[in-house]
Amino acid sequence: MNPPHAARRLQTAHARLEAENIIKLELRSADGLLQPDGRPESGAETLATILVSAPRLPQRLTVRLVLPAGAVGIEHVEATFRQHCLAQAECAWRRATTIRRAGRRQLLPAFAVGAVAAAIAVLAGTVAENAGSHHLVAAVLYVIAGIGVIAAWVIAWLPIEELLFDWRPDGRVAHAYELLAGAQLETSPRPARHRGTAKTTARLG
């Protein structure tokens, strides 16, 4: 089964990014970098989405905007675009840092509570083994031991997950916006379309 058209366009954008460090984006006008311009999100958000979903982020980036012939260039929005990307990067780094700090703060208390849960599990398992003919009591104790083991694992794992993993998506978003803030911006004219061809207001190349 062939992937949907949107998925193929994204794959094409990723292939160009991998080969040439270029993202090509078609817009109605340069203002589309900062506003929806006929789409649900601005050009800046579309560019960031392409970068975040890419297998590898480049060291440097060129953004090539395809604009209608005669459209005003990007000079009047370039500074605002870069400021917007820097602000978005700062917000994303702030979220990532908050998550990491939360995991770090919760790590020792979580280990302490997890150790208590693990001790209860071990105690319950030991008593269950010595329960003799009291099968019902042994079964209940084994259940308590199992719950204790699971609780110890979950309690200890949550802050570890925040510290090691949960902050990374926001960190990648921040990296993407930092790349956009320092990207080289280029423009090229939109190719003439044959009469009767459906118009696409914002299309990834």
**195 belongs to a structural domain:** no
**150 belongs to a structural domain:** yes
What does the alpha-carbon distance between residue 29 and residue 184 come to, in Å, rounded to a whole number? 18
Contact by Cβ (8 Å): 127, 141: yes
**202 belongs to a structural domain:** no
What does the alpha-carbon distance between residue 79 and residue 67 come to, in Å, rounded to a whole number? 18
DSSP reduced 3-state for 124: helix
The pLDDT tens digits along the chain (205 residues) read 456 888 999 999 999 999 999 999 999 898 999 998 777 899 999 999 999 999 999 999 999 999 988 777 788 899 999 999 999 999 999 999 999 999 999 999 998 999 999 899 989 888 888 876 677 888 888 888 899 889 888 988 999 999 999 999 999 999 999 999 999 999 988 776 544 444 433 444 4
**133 belongs to a structural domain:** yes
Note whether 177 and 85 are same-domain residues: yes
In the structure encoding, which two tokens stand for residue 174, read together?
């921040």
Note whether 26 and 85 are same-domain residues: yes
**77 belongs to a structural domain:** yes
Q: Which domain holds residue 144?
A: 107-169
Angle between the N-to-C axes of helices 75-129 and 135-161, in degrees from 0 to 180, rounded to the nearest 10: 160
Q: Which of the 8 DSSP states describes residue 134?
A: -
Note whether 13 and 78 are same-domain residues: yes
Question: What's this model's pTM, rounded to 2 decimal places?
Answer: 0.79
Angle between the N-to-C axes of helices 168-181 and 75-129, in degrees from 0 to 180, rounded to the nearest 10: 170
Q: How many domains does the chain have?
A: 2
